[in-house]
């Protein structure tokens, strides 16, 4: 195991609602190794994006520790956080709404440098803008263009350039390819992987696309209603899923073969429980075909069943075969 760049301990993020406390992120603990990618997957509403924003303290955590280079980001004052901010950046999901439509490509990429006062002269700043445009594959002829004049792929490259121009160490990628065409998705994914190798970046990669997360991740964490239900190396998750929810997610991946057209898929049945004032027990239990009375009694902790493979299920490894098998 390498050196941990990010260490998260008992992280919680709750929101007050008229009905009570919404548990968006509930007691997560994990490490992200320097230079690696942790993929976070789960269906919409499971807390993936909230986790990403909370890690960067864009939304302050309710409880817990976020350790970066030995500093607990959750406890830093505003001035201290400003000094750390260039080292931790985010690539947002929507490449259009995340950009100011009144600014040119040059102004958009230049803005982080000006805000953080990282250049001694205008000439140095403009030179760095041209360098990062070349790095992310933006033609110099687009330097005076506006976001509405560009396609989704180029807009997302602007977002990546804005994050990387500060030479960060940790980048949260919040579904950076979900709004793009499939061919453009591949270009952006390959770009992110190339930049990671060149610059030694560490990623938290949030997505609901399992084929994407398998392509880019070293480790995968599966979330369900604010909880981590399974975490392991990417190859291990796809080879040996243990949690019923993970098995169901993998079973939903389309298989490009004639035989798979006639194969009946098992669907997750039942209603998603409310994340507001959740009851004790496994939050997937009401939809789990293997749930028993013990699953509703109390919290199910993550347990390491094999080296590096953690799962929050009382019956992990003892479930019927066949659910979730997918040769992708």
pLDDT of residue 317: 64
pLDDT of residue 324: 40
pLDDT of residue 320: 53
Distance CA 126, CA 123 (A): 5
Task: Map tokens 């789990």 to a residue.
Answer: 288
pLDDT of residue 255: 67
Residues 6+ apart with CB under 8 A from 321: none
At 201 the three-state DSSP class reads coil
pLDDT of residue 318: 66
- Tell me the pLDDT of the chain (328 aa) as tens digits: 578 999 999 999 999 999 999 999 999 999 999 999 999 999 888 999 999 999 999 999 999 999 998 899 999 999 999 999 999 999 998 888 889 999 999 999 999 999 988 888 889 999 999 999 999 999 999 999 999 999 989 999 999 999 999 999 999 999 998 878 888 888 899 999 999 999 999 999 999 888 888 889 999 999 999 999 999 999 999 999 999 999 888 887 766 665 655 555 656 777 788 899 998 889 999 888 888 888 888 888 899 999 999 999 988 766 555 444 433 3
CA 285 to chain centroid, in Å, comes to 25
pLDDT of residue 204: 97
Q: In 3D, which of 231, 267, 229, 251 has the Cα closest to residue 325?
A: 251
Distance CA 308, CA 49 (A): 24
């Amino acid at each position: 195991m390498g050196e941990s760049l990010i260490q998260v301990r008992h992280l919680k993020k709750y929101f007050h609602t008229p009905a009570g406390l919404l548990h968006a992120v509930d007691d997560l603990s994990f490490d992200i190794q320097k230079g690696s990618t942790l993929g976070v997957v789960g269906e919409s509403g499971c807390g993936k994006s909230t986790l990403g924003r909370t890690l960067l303290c864009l939304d302050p955590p309710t409880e817990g520790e976020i350790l970066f280079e030995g500093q607990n980001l959750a406890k830093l004052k505003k001035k201290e956080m400003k000094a750390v901010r260039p080292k931790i950046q985010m690539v947002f999901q929507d490449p259009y709404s995340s950009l100011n439509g009144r600014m040119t490509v040059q102004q958009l990429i230049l803005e982080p440098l000006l805000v953080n006062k990282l250049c001694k002269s205008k000439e140095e700043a403009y030179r760095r803008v041209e360098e990062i445009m070349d790095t992310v594959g933006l033609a110099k002829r687009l330097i005076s263009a506006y976001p509405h004049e560009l396609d989704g792929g180029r807009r997302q490259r602007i977002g990546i350039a804005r994050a990387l121009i500060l030479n960060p160490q940790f980048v949260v990628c919040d579904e950076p390819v979900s709004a793009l065409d499939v061919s453009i998705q591949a270009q952006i994914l390959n770009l992110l992987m190339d930049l990671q190798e060149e610059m030694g970046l560490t990623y938290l990669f949030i997505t609901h696309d399992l084929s994407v997360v398998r392509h880019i991740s070293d480790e995968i964490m599966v979330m369900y209603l604010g909880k981590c239900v399974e975490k392991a190396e990417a190859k291990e998750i796809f080879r040996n899923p243990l949690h019923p929810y993970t098995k169901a997610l993998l079973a939903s991946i389309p298989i490009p073969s004639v035989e798979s057209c006639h194969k009946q898929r098992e669907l997750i049945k039942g209603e998603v429980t409310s994340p507001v004032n959740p009851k004790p027990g496994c939050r997937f239990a009401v939809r789990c075909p293997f749930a028993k009375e013990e699953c509703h009694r109390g919290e199910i902790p993550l347990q390491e069943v094999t080296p590096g493979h953690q799962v929050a299920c009382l019956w992990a490894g003892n479930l019927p075969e066949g659910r979730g098998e997918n040769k992708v």
